């Protein structure tokens, strides 16, 4: 039985481990951190649980092809309720609340009632949401792979998606912010700016809105960490081993025996003082960081150069607040324009929003509420400079203060009631997940192609890559699909039958 060593116990690594075991390989995961999940995580502070990863899960709906993969990996099962709350996003603007409803009829009526002067744009948005509500992430198998369970090519699904796909080139010429600017109503503009990042293209925005309109994109009970734990449990129950606090330092390469030219083979992984031999290695740690850090010399293949040159990493700062007040009457996801914008690390923050977990059980002590705030901006260099100057903690404290102050201007119940505060910077993410500049997704701006990368270098026979960076914009669906894909390639290369289901 061949031994596969997987670097990283994030969603991609756990997925790869599960499918490798099912297909008859031995599998060991090396994880630098003390637990599973990578970016798909949550943490406890002073009695509060802060959801630090997923806000919505594409494929949570049983109607989607991806749902089967989440079930095969143990991420979801019949006992895990999935919350599909409506509205999924609200804004306070000019004394009124504007909402993004999943129900597209309700959304249309709501938008028309608050902004009849935007009728033309609202109807166009409504039609696009309808078109995109049939788009979903397809699950396909590579040609030439021996499959234990063959599945028909999803032709009907792809044909149904055609009207939306044909709209893509036009939509991708605009950012979400430019599209939002077509609307006169300030609240609708703010909503459209905050579904996905403002500089994402409109195709990404509509794909997300379509996903919500179809009933997909729910939040599994227990959130990110519980989902990662279920996946780790599935991996271990199949006989896999996870070695936590075990950081892979380098992958040892050798000339491939009996092969001409420059083909190499991965012999195993150095972790601390230990060498762990492997018949195949799957790297699920951020590819953009791994191709430089895990190889000596660094890897340079044409697709890797494209990845280095073209990736625009999505980077954020994440502020978690434990509030001694019951905020369950407030929306779950509320945004507003600030009365007093502020500057953070050279960026102007003019609007702010929070995720409110007050209505979820177990996220806060009784009568209290857990809130999280995310600010997307590349502040990596700012925090590095702060760290070098010995001002890291102080700057984090200052940022928390200003956020609390601005939130309290909109939600006065917060003032003087924040008892727990926690700031995760890009350096925090880098330290915990080893990702390039602490980034957990990739920007998909206007006119940018949807870049995908091969999961295997041409020059190394038994090395595979998986994870968020392999297909822009990344996220959990990409992590799970590329973890599966890496094992499918391994199976194809070794003439092994790929076994997906239990």
Ligand X SMILES: Cc1cc2nc3c(=O)[nH]c(=O)nc-3n(C[C@H](O)[C@H](O)[C@H](O)COP(=O)(O)OP(=O)(O)OC[C@H]3O[C@@H](n4cnc5c(N)ncnc54)[C@H](O)[C@@H]3O)c2cc1C
Give contact residues for ligand X (rule: CB under 6 A): 7-13, 30-33, 38-40, 52-56, 58, 247-248, 284-286, 318, 374, 433-435, 440-441, 467-468, 474-477, 479
Min. distance of Cβ 117 from ligand X in angstroms? Answer: 33
Nearer to ligand X, 213 or 325 (CB): 213
DSSP 258-291: T--TT-EEEEEEEETTEEEE-SEEEE-S-HHHHH
Nearer to ligand X, 39 or 380 (CB): 39
Min. distance of Cβ 92 from ligand X in angstroms? Answer: 22
Min. distance of Cβ 483 from ligand X in angstroms? Answer: 7
Min. distance of Cβ 122 from ligand X in angstroms? Answer: 26
Counting Cβ atoms within 10 Å, is residue 84 exposed (0-12), middle (13-18) or buried (19+)? middle
Nearer to ligand X, 101 or 429 (CB): 429
Min. distance of Cβ 461 from ligand X in angstroms? Answer: 22
Nearer to ligand X, 21 or 276 (CB): 276
Counting Cβ atoms within 10 Å, is residue 387 exposed (0-12), middle (13-18) or buried (19+)? middle
Nearer to ligand X, 43 or 326 (CB): 43
Min. distance of Cβ 246 from ligand X in angstroms? Answer: 6
Min. distance of Cβ 6 from ligand X in angstroms? Answer: 9
Min. distance of Cβ 26 from ligand X in angstroms? Answer: 18
Nearer to ligand X, 7 or 164 (CB): 7
Nearer to ligand X, 126 or 219 (CB): 219
Q: Which is nearest to 230 in space by CA: 11, 63, 16?
A: 11
Tokens representing 59 are 């494929």
In contact, 13 and 269? CB cutoff 8 Å: no
CA 252 to chain centre: 30
Contacts of 484 (CB under 8 A, 6+ apart): 15, 16, 19, 69, 500
Distance CA 14, CA 484 (A): 10
Nearer to ligand X, 183 or 222 (CB): 222
Min. distance of Cβ 58 from ligand X in angstroms? Answer: 6
Min. distance of Cβ 257 from ligand X in angstroms? Answer: 27
In contact, 128 and 167? CB cutoff 8 Å: yes
Distance CA 484, CA 480 (A): 6
Min. distance of Cβ 475 from ligand X in angstroms? Answer: 3
Tokens representing 478 are 């990409």
Distance CA 180, CA 353 (A): 17
Nearer to ligand X, 122 or 242 (CB): 242
Nearer to ligand X, 227 or 325 (CB): 227
Contacts of 150 (CB under 8 A, 6+ apart): none
Count of residues making up the chain: 502
Distance CA 437, CA 431 (A): 10
Nearer to ligand X, 122 or 289 (CB): 289
Tokens representing 325 are 């007040």
Pairing of strands 418-424, 219-220: unpaired
Q: Where are the alpha helices (DSSP H) in 413-473?
A: 426-433
Residue 59's CB: how many other CB atoms inside 10 A?
27
Distance CA 77, CA 71 (A): 6
Radius of gyration of the chain (CA): 23
Nearer to ligand X, 218 or 500 (CB): 218
3-class SS shares of the chain: helix, strand, coil, % to 5: 35, 25, 40
Min. distance of Cβ 423 from ligand X in angstroms? Answer: 13
């Amino acid at each position: 039985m061949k031994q596969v060593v997987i670097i990283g116990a994030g969603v991609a690594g756990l997925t790869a481990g599960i499918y490798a075991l099912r297909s008859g390989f031995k599998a060991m995961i090396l994880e630098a951190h003390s637990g599973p999940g990578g970016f798909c995580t949550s943490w406890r502070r002073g009695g509060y649980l802060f959801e630090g990863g997923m806000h919505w899960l594409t494929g949570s709906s049983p109607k989607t092809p991806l749902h089967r993969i989440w079930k095969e990996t143990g991420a979801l099962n019949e006992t895990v309720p999935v919350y599909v709350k409506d509205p999924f996003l609200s804004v306070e603007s000019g004394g009124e609340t504007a909402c993004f409803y999943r129900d597209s009829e309700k959304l249309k009526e709501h938008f028309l009632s608050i902004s009849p002067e935007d009728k033309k744009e609202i109807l166009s948005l409504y039609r696009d949401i309808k078109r995109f509500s049939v788009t979903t992430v397809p699950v396909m198998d590579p040609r030439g792979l021996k499959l234990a369970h063959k599945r028909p090519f999803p032709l009907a699904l792809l044909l149904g998606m055609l009207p939306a796909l044909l709209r893509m080139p036009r939509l991708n010429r605009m950012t979400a912010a430019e599209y939002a600017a077509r609307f006169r109503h300030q609240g609708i503009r703010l909503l459209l700016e905050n579904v996905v990042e403002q500089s994402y293209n409109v195709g990404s925005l509509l794909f997300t809105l379509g996903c919500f309109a179809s009933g997909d994109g729910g939040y599994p009970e227990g959130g990110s960490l519980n989902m990662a734990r279920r996946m780790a449990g599935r991996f271990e129950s199949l006989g896999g081993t996870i070695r936590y606090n075990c950081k892979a330092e380098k992958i040892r390469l050798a000339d491939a025996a009996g092969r001409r030219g420059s083909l190499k083979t991965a012999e195993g992984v150095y972790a601390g003082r230990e060498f762990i031999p492997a018949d195949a290695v799957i790297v699920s740690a951020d590819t953009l960081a791994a191709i430089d850090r895990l190889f000596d010399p660094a890897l340079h293949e044409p697709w890797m150069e494209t990845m280095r040159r073209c990736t625009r990493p999505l980077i954020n700062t994440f502020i978690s607040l434990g509030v001694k007040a019951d905020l369950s009457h407030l929306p779950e996801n509320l945004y507003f324009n600030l009365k007093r914008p502020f500057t953070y690390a050279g960026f102007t923050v003019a609007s702010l929003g929070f995720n409110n977990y007050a209505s979820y059980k177990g996220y806060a002590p009784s009568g209290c509420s857990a809130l999280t705030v995310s600010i997307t901006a590349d502040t990596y260099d700012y925090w590095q400079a702060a760290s070098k100057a010995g001002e890291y903690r102080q700057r984090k404290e200052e940022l928390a203060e200003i956020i609390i102050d601005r939130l309290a201007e909109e939600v006065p119940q917060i003032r003087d009631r924040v008892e727990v505060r926690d700031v995760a910077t890009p350096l925090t993410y880098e330290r915990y997940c080893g990702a390039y500049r602490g980034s957990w997704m990739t920007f998909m701006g206007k006119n940018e192609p949807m870049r995908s990368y091969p999961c295997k270098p041409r020059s190394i026979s038994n090395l595979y890559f998986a994870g968020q960076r392999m297909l822009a914009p990344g996220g959990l669906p990409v992590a799970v699909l590329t973890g599966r894909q890496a094992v499918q390639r391994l199976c194809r290369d070794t003439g092994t039958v790929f076994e997906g289901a239990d």
